[in-house]
Chain A
Amino acid sequence: DAGVIQSPRHEVTEMGQEVTLRCKLISGHNSLFWYRQTMMRGLELLIYFNNNVPIDDSGMPEDRFSAKMPNASFSTLKIQPSEPRDSAVYFCASRSGTGNSPLHFGNGTRLTVT
């Protein structure tokens, strides 16, 4: 199994630009979580989906952030317009809906907004 795949691994952009982060779930998984990690705030949950439906987006910092699941195996997190304070490592994680299956994380996208 290829695991959760995130792209790009690194993204450097200028303030005001649109940024799209991508995540491919593990095949068969039906829950998807987006996290943001900074030194100051640690690992914060932004939003999570179950069966392609957003369940809780209370962690999304502002309307500039949006997340979608266009199909069962893929998700995007978009920031428009980006700001320097959005600089962080963004992780997505997926899990199977069965039993006590754990979260499986991707290796993250390091975003730098200048």
Chain B
Amino acid sequence: DAKTTQPPSMDCAEGRAANLPCNHSTISGNEYVYWYRQIHSQGPQYIIHGLKNNETNEMASLIITEDRKSSTLILPHATLRDTAVYYCILRPVSGTYKYIFGTGTRLKVLA
């Protein structure tokens, strides 16, 4: 079972920041938070991951709360091409892991 909860859907205006929340209240100290997205008809695509500190790459920023029980994925300037389902998942720092995907958040970027 997925260990994360996300809102089922969100809308965002094009050009604005999209802030996608994820709750992972039972996260353990050795689990990373990973974000993927799935654009219609394609396989999921890796976005970003983090353990404790906030992270930023060319696609997005990841803000993890100090208690690590929740996180927010930020797309700073959403475009129509960012319309997708966004998944937040946990995986241990080491070892083999199943990568269980929940239902994700369906983000719709509006023109």
CB of A28 within 8 A of chain B?
A: no
CB–CB A108/B43 < 8 A: yes
Chain A: interface size category: 20 to 34
CB–CB B43/A45 < 8 A: no
CB–CB B46/A55 < 8 A: no
Instruction: Give the interface segment out of A61-69, A73-81, A99-107.
Output: A99-107
CB–CB A42/B102 < 8 A: yes
How many chain B residues touch A (Cβ–Cβ < 8 Å)? 21
Q: B3-45 vs A: 1/0 string, CB under 8 Å? A: 0000000000000000000000000000010101010011111
CB–CB A107/B98 < 8 A: no
Instruction: Give the distance to chain B from A27, nearest Cβ to Cβ, in Å.
Output: 18
Docked CA distance A106–B42 (Å): 8
Kindly report which residue of chain B lies nearest to residue A56, judged by CB atoms: B98
